[in-house]
Amino acid sequence: MNRRGPLLTPLRVLRFASLSILLVLGPVGPARADTARVRGIFDGSYVWRPKTRSIVEGDTIRWKSVEGNHNVQSRGANWSYFRPLPQGTSVTRTFDQSGTFRYYCTIHGSVSNGNCSGMCGRIVVD
């Protein structure tokens, strides 16, 4: 005689159904922010790829130095950021406000009269 009772008790059926729903729908709760990647590479000259990255509020950008040593320097009045980026490393920043956030690598780019040349990029947050 089986002392544990019938194989499919109502409680077991309920647990199985709940687990199945969670596996199909995923966890319930606040949406998590995504991480978008921007890479520093050599493409005839050092560049950020992609040059422009669009995200939504709450998303995080991860800059990664794939080739060469770089840094991420903000440009513009709407944010302040500077991080060194030796080859093979990455840095992140979460953007909690909408707007356009411009940046460049001070090693491989320059800003003159408000114009950026060289290794320049921007994050557009909707």
Q: Could you report the per-residue pLDDT of 57-85, keeping only the tens digit for each? A: 999 999 999 999 999 999 999 999 999 99
- CA angle (96 as vertex; 68, 123 as ends), nearest 5: 40
pLDDT at residue 10 above 90? no
Tell me which amino acid residue 55 is: I
- Give the predicted TM-score (pTM) of the model: 0.73
- Segment (H or E) for 10: helix 10-25
pLDDT at residue 56 above 80? yes
User: All domains of the chain, ordered by start, with CATH?
Assistant: 35-125 (2.60.40.420)
pLDDT-based confidence at 89, cuts 50/70/90? very high
Averaged over 97-116, what is the pLDDT? 97
Tell me which amino acid residue 103 is: Y
* Predicted pLDDT at 34: 82
